[in-house]
Amino acid sequence: MYYYEIAVFGTYTYDTFTYTYEEKLSPGQRVLIDFRNQQKLGVIISETDEKNYNVKEIELVVDYKPLIKNEHIKLIKNASKKFLVPISEMGKLIFPPASSDKIKIKIIPKSPLSNIEKPIFLNEYYRKFKTKKAANKALKKMIKENIVELNIHIKKELKKKRKVVILKKDIIEVLNEKISNSGIKVVNYINEKNNKIYENELYEQKIISRSSTALKTLIKKGIIEIIDEEEVNEEPFIVELTDKQKELKEKILKNKDEIDLLYGVTGSGKTEIFFEVMEEYLIKNKKIMIIIPEISLTPQFVSRIKKRFPAKNIGVYHSSINSSIRTKTWYDAVNGNIDIIIGTRSAVWIPLKDLGMIIIDEEHDQSLYQFDQISYDAVEIAYLRAKIEKIKLILSSATPTLREMKKAYKGEINLLELKERVFTEMPDIEVIDLKKEEKVSWIFTKKVLEEINKILKNNKKVLIFSPTKGYANYLICTNCGNVLKCDNCDVSYTYHRYENKLKCHYCGIEKKVPNSCPVCGNPELQLRGYGTERVVNELLKFFLSNKIIRMDREVIKTHEELNKAFEEIKKEGPAIIVGTKMITKGLDIEDIKLVVILDSDRYLNFPEYTSQEHTASLLIQVAGRSGRKEKGKVLLQTFKSESDFFKFVKEHNYDKIVELELKNREKYKYPPYSELLMIIFSNPKFETALKESEEFFNILKNKDLNVELLEPTEPLIPKLRGQYRYQIVIKGNIDHDEFYEIIKNYNKKMHIFLNPPTTLI
């Protein structure tokens, strides 16, 4: 018999557990086991010695060969220790989503002796037995006798073949043909779109109806042809690099497996540099992983990659894609069928075959840190992978984190800078003092509305950033001052006017607006603050005839809706785009000439040590959406126009903000000059959350840990999703091995966050 240490998925355990099997297995194989009388999936971490106590047998081997390598096992172990989270959950992250109705174990009969007539799913097979244990015993015997085999059934993605319409004749030639008005509309539309479009576009944009015969007529006359998308032979769209871009490309290639920080202003062509570097790796049959912070960036990023590398297989991986397609993408990546994988933070775990390089775009973004369930930082995971797998890592941003800037200044990573835009100058930033400037409404100053009007008249676009969605941030009683709060969370409801509802943006609960204050009965309730919905309503008073596009997670809930919104924005002509953080990340629309930032002080006033860094990054990133092809303008409304902070933002001087903020962090011993560990205990009972936090605090206090230890306190949101919460904050040089053992031995569930980008958890 052989003995194995197994990380058991979904058990929230810091230990591996020993199981035995009669055949030799390898680390990385997944197995089904009996864990505390429940059937669980796990992964073999290592082989171990024979034990002198009773050891349970592995019930079933799921993978006939390991799907992950020893390097990935090492990644699981190291990440578990680094982020102080259970190895059972880290092990689960590296595999695809294992939803029972999407990925299933299938039994394939190989001989009539099996008494199984046709392939069946494991769950169906279990129904023939009293217990799963008995079923697995019989199945194991049949596998050993080679009369059945197991396969992972992956639901196949039904790919609809898209038809492409190509204009074959020159527009001048077409004018000499006798064609209908509908035909002329089709030809003009295709001509505007560089002579090639998807057929569906003609119907979606109402150029013609589906019943129209215009396309058949145009095909007969040889004016157009319609072919399957797969038959289109695309030439790579290659942009000629500037001398500076070429210089940085050569440095990156020369640095080989070192870590590079590509620090360039918005619009400086960072993406084109790593496209050229990717080319060199792809020629050597190395695969590329690109991590982006937001799902909203995916459509335009995938479009650019496909244009640049039309012959390569590209995979997309993020949570908005259903689990069956993600599972297929995962297996394609592991089997070497994908050349370039693009995804959000969860994609950083994919064990892509022949991986040569990881690129993290917008590396400053907080979305790269996972807060839900198991916390980790995708950038730090990429660092671990680069070291363990000896691969290239490129970090790219116009506003790198202080952590990366400090590493670059110390020479731990390579700093590569781009200080100028490729096509145009940086936009002018004008700081508008809300204390002095004339206001037309309490959202907009007169100057802002005048500038918007000027841009729209010039047939260009305006981007307006509002920090929050909804109509009003909260509802308050004018008599007793009671703010209407969510019953599950200790936060105020946001009012949504269109639906006339109060919504909690933390737990998602909704309720009708009450007729009176629930505390004192006063019927006068007042709306305070504003979000995107109210901004749009206000704009309609002044720009009723103009197109206004709202982009936030209330109106855009699916990947398809996101794609449609981007298509709408790309259309030529004047428009106002109103959005939250969703629009600040990598949005590259050429004719956005003006950016307006409404509430610049909001994030700066947050009670946390990262507020200066994140506000600077946010404002500079939003400002960077303006004037991508010709010089643009940014209007920034604030009550603190005289502060040095806004002076540096106006000058696009992120370096100065970094310099001052690093001094503050060093002075007060905050990351990146120490580690910050936040541990949150939560429970439906207030007393239990407090008791567990105090118990654990006392355990830590009695250890010689050489760290700053803060007593349990309520976090900023003391109740969230029906759970009362208490937090312990630890600051200093943390001994991860020691803390791992302490947390493991305490053996009660807690939420652990190492160096989170925000302390407002």
| Binding-site annotation: residue ranges for Zn(2+) | 477, 480, 486, 489, 504, 507, 517, 520
Q: From residue 265, give the alpha-carbon distance in Å to each of 614, 652, 655.
A: 16, 9, 11
From CA 257, how far away is CA 241, in angstroms rounded? 23
Dihedral angle sign, alpha carbons of residues 444, 450, 451, 453? positive
List the binding residues: 477, 480, 486, 489, 504, 507, 517, 520
**With contact defined as beta carbons under 8 Å apart, do 274 and 396 qualify?**
yes
235 residue type, one letter: E
Are residues 493 and 502 in contact, defined by beta-carbon separation less than 8 angstroms? yes
* Bridge-based pairing state of the strands 287-291 and 340-343: parallel
**In whole angstroms, what is the distance from residue 470 CA to residue 490 CA?**
18
Q: How far apart are CA 599 and CA 432, in angstroms?
A: 11
Q: ω before 672 within 30° of 0 (cis)? A: yes
DSSP character at residue 555: T
Q: Bridge partners of 506?
A: none
β-sheet bridge partners, residue 528: 474
**Alpha helix ranges (H) inside 193-239:** 199-204, 214-220
Q: Is the dihedral of CA 225, 227, 233, 234 positive or negative?
A: positive
Q: How many CB atoms lie within 10 A of CB 104?
A: 18
Q: Are 100 and 123 in contact (CB under 8 A)?
A: yes
Task: State whether residue 205 is helix, strand or coil.
Answer: coil
Phi/psi of residue 580, nearest 5 degrees: -95, -155
Up-side HSE of residue 233: CA atoms within 13 Å toward CB?
Answer: 0
Total residue length of the chain: 761
Alpha-carbon distance of 403 to 654, in angstroms, equals 14
Token pair of 483 as six digits = 């703010």
